[in-house]
A and B are shown apart, each in its own frame.
With several copies, the nearest count.
Chain A
């Protein structure tokens, strides 16, 4: 995690504030930056992330779009091709499906198909994830629907300092970036955020906690729970290394492999469904590159393969993991 050096000033903020502050700076610093999406203007986004932006920067820079996700992204692609630096918002990640064509077919391929003549410097931000009683259509994880797509970058930071550093990196990036914000962490997770403009390189995982018995790779909300579980296990005498992936594509092979070579055991933890999820690639990569470093099967602790969490509390509870469930998965693998 980016930590502030003694000479650096910083602020304590939560993830939602970190998004807000970073977007604000981007708007301040570069007149090519525009924000577009549903209810981002007058209301300032459903989580109030862009509250008062329209007042300060004008409605032509903070655009309340019609309800039409394909064109929200598609128009942003056109803006990007023509020199603006759009930041498009999908109100909830669950509503990104209608924009799939524009993201996968267009944004991801603009540079490639034109042999570099046209580029698409575009950020698509969207809140994802569960644990907020969002039911079937306000709590899905979407990363695995996109991470197979060459031409896209996908970020899913978990800590406020990473949110800022990676969102800045996404905004500066000359290619399209899908920026995933776990909505449960918005107000829950607080941390120190350095002042001023800084970026965190895209494609670098972060070892949150060193350990020797077991490597755990996670991201988003669950990385916090994995850390909590690891601290619990520390007291039980089991030393768990916790890696925050942060960047889903490109993925930090080196950090994962180094860790697995040290601990010789790998557990991937994610909120999304298991089959074909991010854990599949992590696991496959390790099985290809470091098989003989392993002392145990590679385990994936993920959501059961049902469409999403139900609205009723027991359904959500069953779908979601918890620090306790993650700790149990860690123990099991450590014992192996």
Chain B
């Protein structure tokens, strides 16, 4: 476990209560547990595909804490397990998606991790990178248009996705109209096998903000409290009419891109190990213990809870039925499907 030097120092908590800090930590533990479960089920041949967010836990749990349920909207991407959990999706819902069961929000139509929940304010998205970013901008436009102060959209993507034209067009439009939106880039330094230096001419994505005339800010995404502070400030600005912000959270992708990838073909064990030293999960555990937000025993209990929750959700979801052949034909248009239509 990485040493932290926080002991003794007053905890800079950005207004987060003990309960909130514990909720963030629970989210982080649950993310990691569910992540592992996906890879495990894949190895067991129970699911053909899984994606992990290891390394993004602090970033996502911290950012989710700034999200206001029932008000804000989240337009996430496929690595946002922790954001989905943090805004209210259950482990069971996550596993329904992983198992592609009929009760999944998408009815088992989409890849795992392509969450969608209208009631939670989580906007449906496809696998086409960056395609969801204009949708988030459109939703933010709707909020502003209807005069809904106090609402904002949080839209996320990976570092690699900022190269897409639609990313640029979206940030530009949001800037013109000072829309209530936060563009949060989860910079894990890799896009599958492509390192940041082959993705862009200079590696600080937040610096693009000035070109659009909006605030830009980079933060340590291994620190959930710093993350919360940055995202909360940006969302607050958005909610109160201050317009968009471009945020860049620094993190790292500890696992391969997905169960289909072998990252050792393009990066070294040593590189991964170096980042592992900063692993946000044990790091935050130490912070909470050091500052008496949780005891070591609390932490152990929480870990058991989270494991039990994961197990129960797995069993429950696995027992659910698949969609049937007939389900291929529903929800194409409003009304019943007809051939040749």
Instruction: With both chains docked as a complex, state the minimum distance between the C-beta of A115 and any C-beta of chain B, in angstroms.
Output: 4
Interface size on B, residues (CB 8 A): 79
A78 to B140, CA, bound (A): 8
Interface residues in A130-166 by Cβ distance below 8 A to B read 133, 135-138, 150-151, 153
A134 to B176, CA, bound (A): 32
A297 to B198, CA, bound (A): 55
Instruction: With both chains docked as a complex, state the minimum distance between the C-beta of A75 and any C-beta of chain B, in angstroms.
Output: 4
Is B134 among interface residues, defined by CB-CB distance under 8 A?
yes
Contact residues in A for B327 (Cβ distance below 8 Å): 310, 314-315
Is B127 among interface residues, defined by CB-CB distance under 8 A?
yes
B138 touches A75 (CB 8 A): yes
**1/0 contact string of B253-264 vs chain A (CB within 8 Å):** 000000011000
Is A201 among interface residues, defined by CB-CB distance under 8 A?
no
Residue in B closest to A133 when the chains form the complex, CB atoms:
B48
Flag the segment in A5-13, A91-99, A322-330 that touches B. Answer: A91-99
Is B193 among interface residues, defined by CB-CB distance under 8 A?
yes
Flag the segment in B19-27, B102-110, B238-246, B302-310 that touches A. Answer: B102-110
Is B135 among interface residues, defined by CB-CB distance under 8 A?
yes
Contact residues in B for A318 (Cβ distance below 8 Å): 325, 328
B131 touches A315 (CB 8 A): no
**1/0 contact string of A244-268 vs chain B (CB within 8 Å):** 0000011101000000000000000
Residue in B closest to A310 when the chains form the complex, CB atoms:
B109
A285 touches B340 (CB 8 A): yes
A64 touches B134 (CB 8 A): no
A306 to B265, CA, bound (A): 38
- From B131, B134, B164, name the one whose CB has the most chain A CB atoms within 10 angstroms: B134
Is A191 among interface residues, defined by CB-CB distance under 8 A?
no
A136 touches B138 (CB 8 A): no
**1/0 contact string of B102-130 vs chain A (CB within 8 Å):** 10111111111010111000011011111
Is A89 among interface residues, defined by CB-CB distance under 8 A?
no
**1/0 contact string of B194-211 vs chain A (CB within 8 Å):** 100011100000000000
B138 touches A86 (CB 8 A): yes
**1/0 contact string of A73-86 vs chain B (CB within 8 Å):** 11111111111101
Instruction: With both chains docked as a complex, state the minimum distance between the C-beta of B76 and any C-beta of chain A, in angstroms.
Output: 14
A105 to B341, CA, bound (A): 18
B341 touches A68 (CB 8 A): no
Given A74-B131, A106-B135, A117-B118, decide whether A136 and B109 contact each other with a Cβ distance below 8 A: yes
Residue of A51, A75, A98, A116 touching B141 (CB-CB under 8 A): A75
Residue in A closest to B169 when the chains form the complex, CB atoms:
A71
Instruction: With both chains docked as a complex, state the minimum distance between the C-beta of A124 and any C-beta of chain B, in angstroms.
Output: 13
Contact residues in A for B73 (Cβ distance below 8 Å): 82
Given A66-B173, A70-B134, decide whether A113 and B328 contact each other with a Cβ distance below 8 A: no
Is A311 among interface residues, defined by CB-CB distance under 8 A?
yes
A175 touches B333 (CB 8 A): yes
B128 touches A79 (CB 8 A): no
A330 to B260, CA, bound (A): 37
Is A42 among interface residues, defined by CB-CB distance under 8 A?
yes
A79 to B146, CA, bound (A): 11
Is A334 among interface residues, defined by CB-CB distance under 8 A?
no
Contact residues in A for B260 (Cβ distance below 8 Å): 46
Residue of A76, A285, A307 touching B332 (CB-CB under 8 A): A307
Residue of A46, A51, A82, A114 touching B138 (CB-CB under 8 A): A82
Instruction: With both chains docked as a complex, state the minimum distance between the C-beta of B89 and any C-beta of chain A, in angstroms.
Output: 13
A138 touches B138 (CB 8 A): no
B341 touches A43 (CB 8 A): no
Interface residues in A105-134 by Cβ distance below 8 A to B read 105-106, 109-119, 133
B341 touches A250 (CB 8 A): yes
A44 touches B265 (CB 8 A): yes
Is A234 among interface residues, defined by CB-CB distance under 8 A?
no
Given A138-B127, A253-B340, A317-B325, decide whether A112 and B332 contact each other with a Cβ distance below 8 A: yes
Interface residues in B163-214 by Cβ distance below 8 A to A read 163-166, 169-170, 172-173, 176, 191-194, 198-200
A84 touches B109 (CB 8 A): no
Contact residues in B for A274 (Cβ distance below 8 Å): 339-340
Given A106-B135, A115-B105, decide whether A95 and B169 contact each other with a Cβ distance below 8 A: no
B128 touches A310 (CB 8 A): no
Instruction: With both chains docked as a complex, state the minimum distance between the C-beta of B134 and any C-beta of chain A, in angstroms.
Output: 3
A38 touches B192 (CB 8 A): yes
Is A188 among interface residues, defined by CB-CB distance under 8 A?
no
Is A287 among interface residues, defined by CB-CB distance under 8 A?
no
Residue of A66, A82, A285, A310 touching B328 (CB-CB under 8 A): A310
B331 touches A111 (CB 8 A): yes
A311 touches B111 (CB 8 A): yes
Contact residues in B for A105 (Cβ distance below 8 Å): 126, 128, 131
Contact residues in B for A306 (Cβ distance below 8 Å): 328-329, 332, 337
B200 touches A66 (CB 8 A): yes
Interface residues in B37-76 by Cβ distance below 8 A to A read 48-49, 73, 75
Is B323 among interface residues, defined by CB-CB distance under 8 A?
yes
A105 to B128, CA, bound (A): 8
Is B142 among interface residues, defined by CB-CB distance under 8 A?
yes
Contact residues in A for B102 (Cβ distance below 8 Å): 312
B135 touches A81 (CB 8 A): yes
A118 to B117, CA, bound (A): 9
Is B330 among interface residues, defined by CB-CB distance under 8 A?
yes
Q: A61-B145, A67-B191, A285-B340 are in contact. List 18 more A-B contacts (CB 8 A).
A: A64-B198, A66-B169, A67-B160, A71-B134, A71-B137, A71-B166, A74-B138, A74-B166, A79-B142, A81-B135, A82-B73, A84-B141, A112-B109, A174-B334, A311-B100, A311-B111, A314-B322, A315-B327
| Cross-chain pairs A/B with CB under 8 angstroms, 14 sampled | A67-B164, A67-B194, A71-B170, A74-B137, A80-B138, A98-B166, A105-B128, A137-B127, A306-B329, A307-B332, A310-B108, A312-B108, A314-B322, A318-B325
